[in-house]
Homo-oligomer: A and B are copies of this chain.
Amino acid sequence: MTTRALKSPLRLSEVDNPSSLVARFGPADPLRLDCGVELSPFQIAYQTYGELDARKANAVLVCHALTADQHLANRHPVTGAQGWWTTMVGPGRPIDTNRFFVICTNVLGACMGTTGPASINPETGRPWGLDFPMVTIRDMVRAQAKLLDRLGIDSLFCVLGGSMGGMQVLQWAASYPERVFCALPIATAAKHTAQNIAFHEVGRQAVMADPDWRKGRYAEEGTRPSKGLGVARMAAHITYLSEKALHRKFGRNLQDREAPTFSFDADFQVESYLRHQGMSFVERFDANSYLYVTRAMDYFDLAADYGGVLARAFQGSSTRFCVVSFTSDWLFPTADSRATVHALNAAGGSVSFVEIATDKGHDAFLLDVPELFATTGGFIDAAARARGLGPARLISEGMVSGLPQERAEDRIEEARPARSSSKAGSGR
């Protein structure tokens, strides 16, 4: 794996001066973290799409996954790629930006403008590095809540997200039930399992084993632990795909050759693909942020904050839930979602549960999976009506004619892109 630094300067400039909206919180407004530290100052980088209605009742918070960011429906300022969830969010999409005001924040600890280990520690004038306090999923959600306070949004119509985004959804519903009208946790779990932790630990050890990591001080020392971070990404990437998806995409196909070379070249397409995943990842992501955000996921165990009983996290909640899992997701298998559903049932919550049959693995939440769009669109539309939000503007303005307005699923089917790319490079 070569150490390229092509877009590194651009990425670094995003850390403190992101190409998005930024909310800065000064000394008077610290963020209390689970580890006990009061983080101050700090900033939250975020994007919005659509318009907040007069009642401030149509706000939707999208929570991103491990290595994604706030650029969910616009071109990415570093990679130039399209947003990571344009299939789900946009005009006429299941999360219709003609109808909803969509907010997405870069999570605490990440590297696209929200404060994290790559940010400058004001006390030293140097990047935080490993001096940055450990953050948790609950801390990420606390930071988001402070942003909403700043924006004057008391209550979210919906919080949704996949994978680590789904963890934030569950934490939102538990921490601020009165602020969440409906919640859509996708391909996620209320706690990280031993296997999940194990894969993350391998990734962290790969980063830390790279001598260019310099105990986290690489930015000041002019190095980059690209090889270690690349290996971490390769290992993680395997877990995002199902064995069937890998077989379908690559099988044992050779890469641009007729026969094996009997060497350590990337003979197989799957090797070439993985190496590419590793190399492109290091262009856009900070190694220390990778350590912090994986750790936040490992620490996530929602029930632990409620005496070990997950149902207590949702007791008395009137939030409407739709829990979604994918049959071939072995990183966050359906059993994890079912545990959440059981807890919601035990708490007397309102919950529907959809297990979507697909061979695309964990990545399915980022891909063109019609049943996911239909499920999301149907759930969102029903909830919006229950909240007294009007039908999508597109529809009400008659721009999509001939469709019966009652059948939300059909409308979503219609609005879905005919054939979106199956690439999911930066969404988690």
Residues of A within 8 A of B (CB): 1, 34-36, 130, 133-134, 191-195, 197-199, 201-202, 204-206, 208-211, 227-228, 230-231, 234-235, 238, 243, 246-247, 249-252, 260, 262-264, 266, 268, 270-271, 274-275, 278, 291, 295, 298-299, 301, 330, 333
Contact = CB atoms under 8 A, between A and B. Distances in A.
Given A194-B268, A206-B206, A206-B209, 17 more contacts: A34-B262, A193-B246, A195-B247, A197-B268, A197-B271, A198-B246, A201-B268, A202-B234, A202-B238, A205-B234, A205-B275, A209-B210, A209-B227, A209-B231, A262-B299, A264-B291, A264-B295
Contact of A298 (B192, B194, B204, B268): B268
Nearest to A210: B209
Contact of A252 (B197, B204, B238): B197
B194 A299 contact: no
Contacts of A278: 205
Contact of A198 (B228, B238, B260, B295): B238
- Copies of this chain assembled into the complex: 2
15 contacts: A34-B262, A134-B263, A194-B243, A194-B270, A195-B246, A195-B247, A201-B234, A202-B235, A202-B274, A205-B231, A205-B278, A209-B230, A209-B231, A231-B231, A235-B235
Q: Is chain A's interface secondary structure helix, strand, loop, or mixed overall?
A: helix
A208 B291 CA distance: 22
Nearest to A242: B195
B246 A228 contact: no
Contacts of A211: 211
B1 A205 contact: yes
